[in-house]
Structure 1
Amino acid sequence: MLLATLGLTGLHWLSHRYDRTVTKQNLLDPAARKPRTDLSQALNYLLIGSDHRPGANPDDQRSDSILIVHVPAGMRQAYLISIPRDLLVTIPAAPGYDGGQDKINAAYEYGGGGEAGARLLSATLSRLTGIRFDGAALLDFSGFKEVIDLLGGIQMCVDTEIRSVHTKTLFTTGCQQMDGARALDYVRQRYGLPGGDYDRQRHQQQMLRAVLNKAGQTHLRDDPVKLDRVLRAAGSALTVDTNGKSLDDLLLAFRGLPPDALRGVQVPSYPQVIGEVSYVVLDNGGGGLFDALRATRMPEWVGANPRWVNRL
């Protein structure tokens, strides 16, 4: 998403500056990493969002958001596939953890959080979907707040009135301008929403698109000081694994991806209580979604499964 934003500037020197700002780590397990990324082919990236709110338990290292970003060949579309945080999966063994069944967001915690946690999560997701990733990113939502503020806020459309369980803010229905703190508070909510965590996933997808839309509308090209501040804020909020590709190469590849090309996708699944614990389980093995990912047939799958497609 941020690389696409950079592509709007058309300035290669900015990508070099960004390259020096962003943290780079090996976020992908060897079993989850594609041996070689070919930017002319379909691509799959893992995006892990983490938000350690003030007052939260510092030992709680579970990932708040897990998305697969699928980009078909041609770079004219992108699919944001949200993985339910409570999805019941088999997590491989890791140092200090024997492996077993648990909620998928626990994999990040069992791996120790950070770089190692991302690797265990990527291995878990690769085992589940059968795909290998072309790269990964850790996004700190708390740091991402500054990016939204520097862009002047974003437009979010609230479809169900809800009061924040974190700040007690009331979000009334309708499209409205939100600053970083308000937007991130809104997309955290799941209790009291008709679709629960599925609505939360959709709101996070909407936020990512809204940021990309605003970046496209903001004349960053004509304001190098503001652009530099946005890049530095983005760099402080991101840790990336580009699988050996330079940010220059990624910039050139993604520069033509328009904001309205983003599609939100939910994994076919449903909530189920097992042993007095609430989980999410796959509906019919995922309804063919993972097969479509592996076979690069996402446009066909989306057309045949409108129930699981979010309007962004």
Structure 2
Amino acid sequence: MLMSVAGSVGLRVLVSRYERSVAQERLLDDAARQRATATDGPLNYLLVGTDLRANDPEDGERADTIVIAHIPAGHDKAYLISIPRDLRVEIPGRGTDKINAAFAYGRTQLLSATLTGLTGVSFDGAAIVDFSGFQRVVDLLGGVTMCVDTPTRSIHTGHVFDLGCHQMSGALALDYARQRYDLPGGDFDRQRHQQQLLKAIVVKVGENGMVTNPIKLDQLIRTVGSSLTVDTNGVPLQDLIFAMHGMRADDLVGLQVPAHLETVGGTSYALLDDPAPDLFAALKRAEVPQWANANPKWINKL
């Protein structure tokens, strides 16, 4: 019992250190922010992966990955709902455009306001991580296993990803998760591969025993913290972590927003299909597990 308490205290010390070191900002728009600040009910978080191109800094930082993470009240699962970055939406004050343009116009505040207008859902918090952070985390873990279901040639490096499961470094895993051209589902396959990468990271963290090894956990915390900006909506970060500490890789469920690609006025967009409003309504009512069970077509295989 004493060893258990000591381990818990040590973990809390590490998390407290992380809370002091990670960048914290008001990422959410006031209209998109959940008023309650408890952690004992269903939670919705906005997760944004950004692409800051070192070889083209003038192109700016873009929201390459947009995910709504829904955690039911039991905190025993997490539903990763990937928002197509080319989704045609109404951006407050900007008119109709692709949703990732909201980030370019007004960072996560405008992006969160746009998503709240689209879904009716307010957020309990938000996080931004740059892609270099994913790469460093994967390398710290010693690589991750990614299963390639369609042979793919990288448009960035020319590397060929052969069919089958492979151990990938941070650079390779990130490169694979960013591909969308020549894939049968295009950007929808890319979203699934990004969800797959998130799960692969969680799997490797568990295999390496990082959660129970203070030294390894400290390394992971510092690696993640250097690339992450969070908005916890006033809730101590350690409370959030401990509320979900029992979640495992198999508890992650990837969902695709029902949509299809279509050219409008010479521009390619993703347009919502009929089941999408039902998904957003289920998200607002905290009934995502029920929606997923009734709509297995939109569950991604991770």
Pairing 1:48–2:48 present = yes
Gaps of 5+ in 2: 1-6
In structure 1, what residue type is equivalent to 2:181?
Answer: Y
Identity %: 55
| Aligned 8 A contact 1:62 1:107 in 2 | no
SS at match of 1:85: coil
1:24 aligns with 24
2:95 aligns with 100
Stretches of 4+ aligned residues off by more than 4 angstroms: 7-10
CA distance in 2, matches of 1:286, 1:169: 35
Q: How does 1:1-312 map to 2 (within 5 A)?
A: 11-93=11-93, 99-111=94-106, 117-220=107-210, 223-284=213-274, 286-312=276-302
Q: CA deviation at 1:227?
A: 2.7
In structure 2, what residue type is equivalent to 1:234?
Answer: V
CA distance in 1, matches of 2:21, 2:175: 26
In structure 1, what residue type is equivalent to 2:58?
Answer: P
CA distance in 1, matches of 2:56, 2:190: 19
What is the number of residues matched between the two proteins?
296
SS at match of 2:52: coil
| Aligned 8 A contact 1:269 1:280 in 2 | yes
In structure 2, what residue type is equivalent to 1:278?
Answer: S
CA distance in 2, matches of 1:192, 1:81: 23
| Aligned 8 A contact 1:108 1:118 in 2 | yes
- The 10-residue stretch of structure 1 (140-149 or 177-186) with the greater mean CA deviation from structure 2: 140-149
1:4 aligns with none
Q: CA deviation at 1:289?
A: 0.4
The superposition leaves residues 178-206 of structure 1 with CA deviations (integer Å, 9 ceiling, x where unpaired) of 11000000001000000000000000000
CA distance in 2, matches of 1:9, 1:56: 45
Gaps of 5+ in 1: 1-6, 94-98, 112-116
| Aligned 8 A contact 2:261 2:271 in 1 | yes
CA distance in 1, matches of 2:205, 2:90: 39
Q: CA deviation at 1:10?
A: 7.3
SS at match of 1:31: helix
TM-score by length of 2: 0.94
- The 10-residue stretch of structure 1 (9-18 or 202-211) with the greater mean CA deviation from structure 2: 9-18
SS at match of 2:81: strand
Q: CA deviation at 1:228?
A: 2.1
| Aligned 8 A contact 1:147 1:230 in 2 | yes
Report the CA distance shift for 1:110/1:221 in structure 2 as closer, same or farther (over 3 A): closer
1:3 aligns with none
CA distance in 1, matches of 2:211, 2:146: 24
CA distance in 2, matches of 1:259, 1:184: 19
Q: CA deviation at 1:58?
A: 2.9
Q: CA deviation at 1:213?
A: 0.8
Q: CA deviation at 1:52?
A: 1.8
| Aligned 8 A contact 1:164 1:189 in 2 | yes
| Aligned 8 A contact 2:53 2:59 in 1 | no
1:114 aligns with none
CA distance in 2, matches of 1:250, 1:237: 19
CA distance in 2, matches of 1:159, 1:231: 32
In structure 1, what residue type is equivalent to 2:98?
Answer: K
In structure 2, what residue type is equivalent to 1:307?
Answer: K
TM-score by length of 1: 0.91
- The 10-residue stretch of structure 1 (53-62 or 65-74) with the greater mean CA deviation from structure 2: 53-62
> What is the root-mean-square deviation in Å for CA atoms of aligned residues?
1.7
Q: CA deviation at 1:299?
A: 1.1
